[in-house]
Amino acid sequence: MNFIFDILLYPFRALHPLWGQMWLSALTGLMMILIFKKTSDQQAISQLRRKMGSRALGMLLYLESPLTVLKLALGLITDNFIYLWHLLRPMLVIAVPFILVAAQLDARYGVQPPSSSRPSTVTIRWENSLPVELIEPTAGSVVSPVVTIADSLEKSFSFTGENGVFEVENFRIGTSGGTGSVVIRGAEKPGIVQALLRPWNASAPEGIHSVRSFLQPVDYAVLGGRWSWFGVFLVFSSLWAIAGAFVFKVKV
């Protein structure tokens, strides 16, 4: 999955991060609306929308007849439940690519790589036994003190990066790639869930059970405000989905 997104974002590696986010938001929005069109009953949704509009108009026309308004209101409520039922299947299908894209965006645009001026923290858990001392970092530096938790075979400490990377115990945190590259935050045993839903975690080196780091989150200046990656993704993918519904004549 990382390889696919590396290819999609390759043209934006030297540009501001917002360009890559906008590109993926556009692709996701158009993909979601096309999936919705293919997996939903467009004719039934169109008929329901007309029926619901007619019932709402009838309630306005027959205000002098409370019984008629009540019947129309009950029919409108029933139609809304049927409408939601028609939306359920396509929304469940759409949720799969949405979650996968969101995980990739979080891995690439959610946090800053390790900084040389602002320390971050990390916890390393070993599998069988704790080393007496940490191996000297090959990139970045450890900020004392190192806290050892013997019962859980863990060491926690602060660190600073070097050119966006901190490397210790044969494991690298951060990224040496361009804009939009995955920022590695930790490590765990490899698996399908890890690869798809936690692409910011690499495979744990031999002898290490897991690595968890806490890097600085990133906000982006958009329309005069400070937005998280998720805000950018949600708003702009929705706008592209609305535009796609108009272009491809999708009934939602």
CA 7, distance to chain mean position in Å, is 18
Report d(CA 195, CA 193) in Å as an integer: 5
pLDDT of residue 17: 92
Cis peptide before 205 (omega within 30 of 0): no
Residue with tokens 């926690």: 156
pLDDT of residue 166: 92
Report d(CA 240, CA 31) in Å as an integer: 9
Q: With contact defined as beta carbons under 8 Å apart, do 72 and 61 qualify? A: no
pLDDT in tens, 181-209: 999 999 988 888 888 889 999 888 888 99
Report d(CA 71, CA 63) in Å as an integer: 12
pLDDT in tens, 16-54: 999 999 999 999 999 999 999 999 999 999 999 999 989
pLDDT in tens, 143-184: 888 899 988 999 999 999 998 999 987 889 998 777 889 999
- The answer for residues whose C-beta is within 8 angstroms of residue 163's C-beta and 6 or more apart is 139, 176
Mean pLDDT value of segment 57-79: 89
